[in-house]
Amino acid sequence: MAAMSVAPAARARKFRACLACILTLAGVPTVARAEDGSDLWLRYAAVESPVLLDAYRRTIASLVVQQSPATAAIVSKELARGLKGLLGAEVPARTSVTGDGALVVGTATSPIVAALGWNAVLKELGPEGFVIRHTLIGGRRALVIASAGDRGALYGTFHLLRLLSTGASIAQLDVRERPRHQLRLLNHWDNLNGSIERGYAGRSLWRWEELPATIDPRLHDYGRANASLGLNGTVLNNVNANAQSLTAAYIAKAAAIADTLRPYGLKVYLSANFAAPGTIGGLATADPLDPAVQRWWKDKAAEIYKAIPDFGGFLVKANSEGQPGPQDYQRTHADGANMLADALKPHGGIVMWRAFVYDASVDPDRIKRAYMEFVPLDGTFRDNVIVQTKNGPLDFMPREPYHAVFGAMPKTPNVVELQITQEYLGHSTHLVYLAPMWKEFFDTDTFARGPGSTVAKIADGTLQGHTVTAIAGVANTGNERNWTGHHFAAANWYVFGRLAWNSSLSSEAIADEWIRQTWSRRPETVQAIATLMLGSREAFVNYTMPLGLHHLIGGDHYAVMPENDDKRRLDWSATYYHRADAKGVGFDRTRGGSGAVDQYFKPNADRWNDPKTTPEKFLLWFHHLPWDYRLPSGQTLWQGIVAHYRRGAEQAADIERDWTALKGSVDDERYAAVAARLRQQTIDAAAWRDKCLAYFAQFSKLSY
């Protein structure tokens, strides 16, 4: 009777489930279950290889976690979840090592770790660093994750889970890790009304309206994801800051978020609106040298620290794009930053003062302005001020030379600001893996102190001896199920975290580990996905900014619009940048032009002053050249431009085709979501090619 009442569809489901069980038990990988991407890279999919599984199970047969209670709870929960998924069985938790194969997680003060005599190395690696090593405890085999601090033990736990998830051997582990940058932060451009500036994955995760009474459980997953990468701070609100975020009501909301994220090692920061003493404080001025204004900020800082004792500090966008700032009162950026720094200093907070300024009265060339305003201020900032600078001097273009400010302010620590959200890189529609772009930036030699003065060494403080170091990424998260809109956009969140931890990791290595955790461990699948990811940034550059032509976009920064001659501001148009005319195209930034090249150290300045020694990728960034200019390849400039647009459009189509070949190798749900977006990307890339070539041909009068 019972069997007869089962409907055919249900029976088929049951059959498939049984079959999957049998295949899994037999060690045969089954087609992955449908997934919505909400687990990100923390899927903990069952280990397929029987050999590895056996090795993992023998090494991790029991768990002993000895840390302060809040972190211990998170570590234990993550290990339980991760190991259950990976090893297919619960691993029992114990209070001491009772047999071979114990995984011990502890800090320098926990009894087991203290007895190991590892204090010197733990001290050297600091409270966020960790070791993972095999040892004997009471004669029993144990694998130990140890750190001087709770955070380090948490990061070490995620590190081990990553090794297991990627299918690494853990037989000879001797890991010593320590982050290269002290502050590793996400910057959320979230507004208090729930919208996100340049956000393409839904609405704000914070759900301000429900706070502080209701905490969205997703905040815990947000904490886990960031902790898994070693990120340790988050700026909650938009740099175009609403002063309301500093009112008592919003401080209480921020405090609720801070309480939730604290055990995951994340500190909370706020963007501050410089005019707040007037807007919400009732003062007649926000002049940083006015004692009443200084008092107001001191009181405000004290109020915030009462609610959030470990508050990180303020991020400030001042006198930029209409935001208020010290220059409204004829004061300098340093006057403004220092006033806030003094208010935060007694509590241990910092000010991240943004160098994203481009006042048109400073210089006709937009990319020179920030340098001209900030470099003369070097040495005048308090020691708890960090100047936050975007990687490039314009605004998160798909390719820019590094910002000349890096290395030119040796007395001022800097925060490198990268943009994870793809404002100028196809939003959440185009698949663009950003690691190669960020690596190119970190690896550039600035020559600030002679050869070998890479941006990476400036960012990590080693070149100029800075003790405060920081990396910030403008987040691409929102409340969509998969967090970032495009399943592949999550790779950019991942890569940002990994490079913030260690900027010397390679694009290839990070792609490999992300793919194994997120999609599949099958070597052919990993290889195929890695190939399309690794080529995607250059493809995007080819179809949107060949040879350094830049900013050919319209208002939403997505649409192709080389004819854009924005009437509001010249430097928001496209024509200001490409300067196409009958003779040629490109922005002359040589000594005969805007002179921007001389903001760079020699020999970069000299090399980039001459088109013959300028890397082709930056040719039209630094030079206005005739259409018949000869490229090293022998092609004319026009032919080169045409070739890049064509190649870019072809590459986009190739990425789509390569993805199609992966049908069945990854789960259907995510496969289809990615395929739909790639369809659009191919269409858009062709549109970029067609529109730009038709547009520029009007000037070159050449065919294509």
303 given a catalytic annotation: no
Which CB atom, from 389 or from 518, has the smaller least distance to ligand BDP?
Answer: 389
Minimum CB separation from ligand BDP for residue 474, in Å? 7
Q: Which is nearer to ligand BDP, 143 or 475 (CB)?
A: 475
Any contact of residue 395 with ligand BDP (CB under 6 A)? yes
Least separation in angstroms between residue 325's CB and ligand BDP is 12
Q: Which of 269, 381, 396, 433 binds ligand BDP (CB under 6 A)?
A: 396
What is the spatial distance between Cα 148 and Cα 121, in angstroms, rounded to a whole number? 9
The burial class, CB within 10 Å (0-12 / 13-18 / 19+), for 33 is exposed
Torsion of CA 497, 502, 508, 512, to 10 degrees: -60
* Residues within window 670-689 making contact with ligand BDP, judged by CB under 6 A: none
For ligand BDP, the closer CB: 149 or 392 = 392
Burial 59-84 (b: 16+ CB within 10 A, else e): bbbbbbbbbeeebbebbbebbeebbe
Work out how close the CB of 239 gets to ligand BDP at its nearest, in angstroms, rounded to a whole number.
5
Residues 198-227 that bind ligand BDP (CB under 6 A): 198
Residue 47 is classified by DSSP as P
**Interface size with ligand BDP, residues (CB under 6 A):** 10
**Which of the residues 287, 395, 513, 588 is marked catalytic?**
395
Spatial CA neighbour of 438 closest among 383, 496, 382: 496
Judged by CB, which is closer to ligand BDP: 240, or 464?
A: 240
Looking at the DSSP bridge assignments, the partners of residue 64 are: 104
Buried b (16+ CB within 10 A) or exposed e, 655-688: bbeebeebeebbbebbbebbeebbeebbebbbeb
Which one from 321, 383, 565, 628 is the annotated catalytic residue?
Answer: 321
Nearer to ligand BDP, 470 or 597 (CB): 470
659 binds ligand BDP (CB under 6 A): no
Coil/strand/helix, residue 54: helix
Residue 550 makes contact with ligand BDP by CB under 6 A: no
Q: Is 395 a catalytic residue?
A: yes
* Shortest distance, position 357 Cβ to ligand BDP, whole Å: 9
Does residue 403 bind ligand BDP (CB under 6 A)? Answer: no
Q: Beta strands 313-316 and 350-354: pairing type?
A: parallel
Least distance between ligand BDP and beta carbon 321 (Å)? 6
- 329 and 288 Cβ atoms separated by less than 8 Å: yes
521 belongs to the binding site for ligand BDP (CB under 6 A):
no
CB of 312 to ligand BDP, least distance (A): 19
Strands 470-474 vs 183-187: parallel, antiparallel or unpaired: parallel
Least spacing, CB of residue 191 vs ligand BDP, in Å: 11
H-state helical runs in 604-667: 604-609, 619-622, 637-660
- Residue 423 falls in the annotated catalytic set: yes
Would you say the C-alpha torsion 323, 329, 330, 336 has a positive or negative sign?
A: negative
Return the number of the residue (86 or 553) whose C-beta is nearest ligand BDP: 553
SS3 of 570, please? Answer: helix
- Structure tokens that stand for 102 in this block: 């114990």
Q: Which of 54, 321 has the CB closer to ligand BDP?
A: 321
- Contact pattern from residue 603 through residue 642 relative to ligand BDP, giving x for each residue in contact according to CB under 6 A and a dash for the rest: ----------------------------------------
CB-based burial, 560-569: b 16+ in 10 Å, e otherwise: bbbebeeeee
In the complex with ligand BDP, which residue's Cβ is closer, 195 or 525? 195
Cis peptide before 127 (omega within 30 of 0): no
216, burial (CB in 10 Å: exposed 0-12, middle 13-18, buried 19+): middle
Residues 232-251 that bind ligand BDP (CB under 6 A): 239-240
The least distance separating ligand BDP from the CB of residue 358, rounded to whole angstroms, comes to 10
Contact 47, 83 (CB under 8 A): no
Write 543-546 long-range contacts (CB < 8 A, 24+): 543/644, 543/645, 543/648, 543/649, 543/651, 543/652, 543/685, 543/688, 543/689, 544/398, 544/648, 544/688, 545/397, 545/398, 545/399, 546/640, 546/641, 546/644, 546/645, 546/648
Which residues between 18 and 37 bind ligand BDP (CB under 6 A)? none
Ranked by CB distance to ligand BDP, the top (closest) residue is 395
Question: Does residue number 317 form part of the binding site for ligand BDP (CB under 6 A)?
Answer: yes
Catalytic residue among 128, 365, 417, 423: 423
Closest by CA position to 200, among listed 563, 469, 550, 558 = 558
CB of 189 vs ligand BDP, minimal distance in Å: 7
Does 423 bind ligand BDP (CB under 6 A)? Our answer is: yes
Window 320-349: residues binding ligand BDP (CB under 6 A): 321
CB 314 within 8 A of CB 266: no
What are the C-alpha distances in Å from 304 to residues 206, 210, 219, 250, 308? 18, 20, 21, 10, 6
How far is residue 440's CA from residue 681's CA, in Å, rounded to a whole number? 24
DSSP 8-state code for residue 454: B
Nearer to ligand BDP, 162 or 198 (CB): 198
Answer yes or no: are the C-beta atoms of 137 and 55 closer than 8 Å: no
* Residue 197 binds ligand BDP (CB under 6 A): yes
**Which of 165, 237 has the CB closer to ligand BDP?**
237
Minimal distance in Å, beta carbon 272 to ligand BDP? 14
Q: Closest CB to ligand BDP among 319 and 609?
A: 319
| CB nearer ligand BDP, residue 197 or residue 566 | 197
Give yes or no for a contact between 574 and 580, defined as CB atoms under 8 angstroms apart. no
Which CB atom, from 317 or from 578, has the smaller least distance to ligand BDP?
A: 317
- Whole-number minimum distance, CB 424 to ligand BDP, in Å? 8
Is 356 a residue that touches ligand BDP (CB under 6 A)? yes
Residues 702 and 77: their CA atoms lie apart, in Å, by 65
Taking the complex as a whole, the smallest distance from the CB of residue 384 to ligand BDP amounts, in Å, to 22
Q: Distance of alpha carbon 23 from its chain centroid, rounded? A: 39
Map tokens 């914070």 to a residue. 206
Residue type (1 letter), 61: A
Per-residue tokens: 91: 């691993």
Alpha helices (H) in 209-247, listed in sequence order: 218-229
CB of 316 to ligand BDP, least distance (A): 11
User: Which spans of this chain sit near ligand BDP (rule: CB under 6 A)?
Assistant: 197-198, 239-240, 317, 321, 356, 395-396, 423
* Active-site annotation, residues: 321, 395, 423
